[in-house]
């Protein structure tokens, strides 16, 4: 008797997602050796321009990184075998963390397994019941999950609305600990946090300030330190988070701050305590990527000119895109089904640009989110912009 399984409700829920054009499924993708800006969807087919990856500096296939990983793999094997607090703390950690602290000009740094783990682990460690977290409405899901796990009160302020934030800070001024947390560059819109104003509010209300540089680390700042450095507010940020999964072309994350913060996290951050240390070969690859991020100014410059070129091409074509200089360029389609069809039409035109739908973005703002890379050439981007315009005309979304 298995007509009614205990999981029938799941089938129903999946069917309703499908109905709303909200069902997600995993599709395979393949790298194009030597071309980090491109990808295949099926073997044998022609390659697509990948406008949906976060490999901003085009480092994901860099030979020096691969060689560093290969050597470490041969020397140390694959798994670290235990968490860092047990026996997994290979020597590559200390070296990497010193290099990060020096790069960021902060007292200390701590590496995490991923940006998701860093956000979730750090927030849960620094606030708890009786505390309050002020979070921009469009912050990344890993930040929201960290807040929910912490059991602190979650106060979402309207996106970039500093008056709303201030009113909320005032209302909660007597709470024990207060944390303001924001993406530096927002992942789905590509706009920037108002870091100068956040700095003032943090001081006025005695709050901690945490900034997630997932989409700005490696890209902004003289040596890719991030937006906080570029804007000169780095010393006001108590908890600075960045990832190795985007501009570094790798995987993992870092937290920077005071020695006290890092010592505290070693004692409290559950993803560090209860999860196995990263594979040593990955640490070696990240260390090499960090050196390239610091040295290769041309990658930031190339990304910058790709961004300017692509943004101005879309604008000239009549698309309404948010102003800014980030490598994330959304065009808002609105309904989910059209966004999916738009994405499929782009794919037929040689462009991989997936539709982003709720709950990743607010209801009614399904979009195509383009992200650029230093690996994209002007010719590729010129072709892509012309094809995107064609598809835009076909769908009647120009000028909207
Ligand atoms: C991608 C992203 C993360 C998660 O980082 P991973 O290393 O991919 O887990 C965290 N915060 C923001 C803003 C992101 O865009």
> Is 31 touching ligand 1 by the criterion CB < 6 Å?
no
Residue 206 lies in a domain: yes
This prediction's pTM: 0.96
pLDDT in tens, 50-67: 999 999 999 999 999 999
Residue 13 lies in a domain: no
Q: Is the pLDDT of residue 43 over 70?
A: no
Please give the structure tokens belonging to residue 64: 């020096």
Active-site amino acid positions: 187, 215, 246
Q: pLDDT value at position 204?
A: 98
CA dist 315 → 79, 138, 303, 351, 385 (Å): 48, 24, 18, 18, 10
> Is 253 touching ligand 1 by the criterion CB < 6 Å?
yes
> Is 216 touching ligand 1 by the criterion CB < 6 Å?
no
Residue 48 C-alpha to ligand 1 middle, in angstroms? 24
pLDDT level of residue 4 (50, 70, 90 thresholds)? confident
Please give the structure tokens belonging to residue 332: 């808002």
* pLDDT above 70 coverage of the chain, percent: 98
From atom 5 of ligand 1, which residue's Cα is the shortest distance away?
115
Q: pLDDT value at position 44?
A: 65
The best mutation among 243, 247, 327, 356 to test binding of ligand 1, ranked by most ligand atoms within 8 Å of the C-beta, falls on: 243
CATH number at residue 216: 3.40.640.10
From atom 2 of ligand 1, which residue's Cα is the shortest distance away?
214
Q: pLDDT value at position 400?
A: 62
Based on the domain organization, do 116 and 181 belong to the same domain? yes
> Is 369 touching ligand 1 by the criterion CB < 6 Å?
no
Rounded average pLDDT over 191-210: 98
Q: pLDDT value at position 399?
A: 65
Residue 10 C-alpha to ligand 1 middle, in angstroms? 28
Residue 14 lies in a domain: no
Of 324, 328, 311, give the one whose Cα is nearest residue 373.
Answer: 328
Residue 91 lies in a domain: yes
Based on the domain organization, do 71 and 187 belong to the same domain? yes
Of 243, 239, 196, give the one whose Cα is nearest residue 216.
Answer: 243
Based on the domain organization, do 288 and 304 belong to the same domain? no
Q: Which of 295, 325, 353 is the last residue of a domain?
A: 295
Q: Is the peptide bond before 356 cis (omega within 30 degrees of 0)?
A: no
Residue 290 lies in a domain: yes
pLDDT in tens, 248-286: 999 999 999 999 999 999 999 999 999 999 999 999 999
Please measure the distance between the N-terminal and C-terminal CA atoms of the chain and give it in whole angstroms.
Answer: 54
Based on the domain organization, do 184 and 288 belong to the same domain? yes
Of 382, 56, 351, 323, give the one whose Cα is nearest residue 189.
Answer: 323
Q: Give φ, ψ of 136 to 5 degrees.
A: -55, 140
Q: pLDDT value at position 45?
A: 75
Rounded average pLDDT over 94-102: 98
Exposed, middle or buried: residue 2 (CB in 10 Å: 0-12, 13-18, 19+)? exposed
> Is 286 touching ligand 1 by the criterion CB < 6 Å?
no
Q: Which of 295, 320, 347 is the last residue of a domain?
A: 295
Q: CB neighbours of 157 closer than 8 A, spacing ≥ 6? A: 134, 135, 136, 137, 164, 165, 168
Residue 195: give the domain boundaries: 63-295
Residue 1 lies in a domain: no
For the chain, how many structural domains are there in total? 2
From atom 3 of ligand 1, which residue's Cα is the shortest distance away?
115
Q: Which of 265, 295, 325 is the last residue of a domain?
A: 295
Residue 59 C-alpha to ligand 1 middle, in angstroms? 17
Residue 287 C-alpha to ligand 1 middle, in angstroms? 19
> Is 187 touching ligand 1 by the criterion CB < 6 Å?
yes
Based on the domain organization, do 257 and 317 belong to the same domain? no
């Amino acid at each position: 008797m298995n007509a009614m399984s205990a999981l029938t409700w799941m089938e129903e829920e999946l069917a309703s997602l499908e109905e709303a054009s909200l069902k997600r499924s995993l599709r395979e993708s393949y790298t194009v050796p030597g071309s980090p800006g491109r990808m295949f969807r099926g073997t044998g087919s022609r390659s697509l321009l990948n406008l949906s990856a976060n490999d901003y500096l085009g480092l994901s296939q860099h030979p020096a990184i691969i060689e560093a990983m290969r050597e470490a793999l041969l020397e140390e094997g694959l798994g670290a075998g235990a968490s860092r607090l047990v026996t997994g703390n290979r020597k590559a950690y200390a070296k990497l963390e010193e290099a990060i602290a020096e790069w960021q000009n902060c007292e200390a740094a701590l590496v995490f397994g991923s940006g998701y783990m860093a956000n979730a682990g750090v927030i849960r460690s620094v606030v708890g019941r009786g505390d309050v977290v002020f979070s921009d409405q469009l912050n990344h899901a890993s930040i929201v999950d960290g807040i929910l796990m912490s059991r602190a009160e979650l106060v979402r302020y309207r996106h970039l609305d500093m008056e709303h934030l201030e009113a909320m800070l005032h209302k909660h001024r007597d709470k024990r600990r207060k944390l303001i947390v924001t993406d530096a560059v927002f992942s789905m819109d590509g706009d920037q946090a108002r870091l100068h104003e956040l700095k003032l509010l943090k001081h006025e209300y005695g709050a901690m300030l945490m900034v997630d540089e997932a989409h700005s680390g490696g890209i902004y700042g003289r040596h890719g330190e991030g937006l906080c450095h570029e804007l000169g507010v780095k010393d006001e940020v108590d908890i600075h988070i960045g990832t190795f999964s985007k501009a570094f072309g790798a995987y993992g994350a870092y937290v920077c701050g005071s020695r006290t913060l890092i010592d505290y996290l070693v004692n409290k951050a559950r993803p560090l305590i209860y999860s196995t240390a990263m594979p040593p070969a990955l640490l070696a690859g990240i260390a090499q990527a960090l050196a390239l991020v610091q040295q290769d100014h041309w990658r930031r410059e190339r990304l910058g000119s790709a961004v300017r070129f692509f943004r101005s091409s879309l604008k000239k074509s009549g698309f309404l895109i948010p102003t800014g200089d980030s490598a994330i360029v959304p065009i808002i389609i609105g309904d989910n089904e059209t966004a999916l069809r738009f994405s499929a039409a782009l794919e037929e035109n040689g462009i991989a640009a997936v539709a982003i739908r709720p709950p990743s973005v607010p209801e009614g703002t399904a979009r195509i989110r383009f992200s650029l890379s230093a690996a994209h050439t002007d010719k590729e981007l010129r072709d892509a912009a012309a094809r995107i315009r064609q598809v835009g005309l076909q769908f009647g979304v120009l000028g909207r």
